[in-house]
Amino acid sequence: MSSPHESHPYPSYATYPWQPPIPPEPPSPPRHRTPDHPPLGHHSDLRILRTAYRWQRRVATLTALGYFTLFLILSAFAPGFMTSTVTDGLPAGLLLALLQLPVTWLAIALYEHTARRYVDPLADRIRKEAEVDAKREAGKRGTRR
């Protein structure tokens, strides 16, 4: 069990009258601030990235789940349509069920497309800015020593 007094060789108060007074702790060095450039991970950049990623997820999810929900609603509330034949021996319900796999592939393709076109370039830009900021901070620390 650790005690709050373990970091000091003596308690924070005088136990005996003949003990020397306790010296005050030295003040900590002041922290430096660098207001000449925006902080790492600027909030507006991250907000834009989150918005793009959120839009990407919504498009892909609504494509796949929207089609599946439409299929379920048609199955429950339009049985006449689902049992009607599209061609000889192929009911509309079976055709719509078979189309779920290509629609899922479409959702994946939309996800990849929006990732390459919108999200990845934003993430790359933020990553590069973070690297530049880190190098700038490392350079400033190196010159101050």
pLDDT, one tens digit per residue, over 15-30 is 667 767 767 777 777 6
Q: Which of 50, 57, 47, 45 is nearest to 112 (CA)?
A: 57
pLDDT value for 5: 46
pLDDT in tens, 48-107: 888 888 988 888 888 889 999 999 999 999 999 999 999 888 999 999 999 999 999 989
| pTM: predicted TM-score of the whole model, two decimal places | 0.55
Q: What are phi and psi of 64, to 5 degrees?
A: -70, -50
Q: Which of 125, 143, 133 is nearest to 39 (CA)?
A: 133
**Cα torsion through 34, 134, 128, 52, rounded to 10:** -70
pLDDT value for 31: 67
Residue 35 vs residue 69, higher pLDDT: 69
For residues 78 and 47, give the distance between their C-alpha atoms in angstroms, rounded to a whole number. Answer: 43
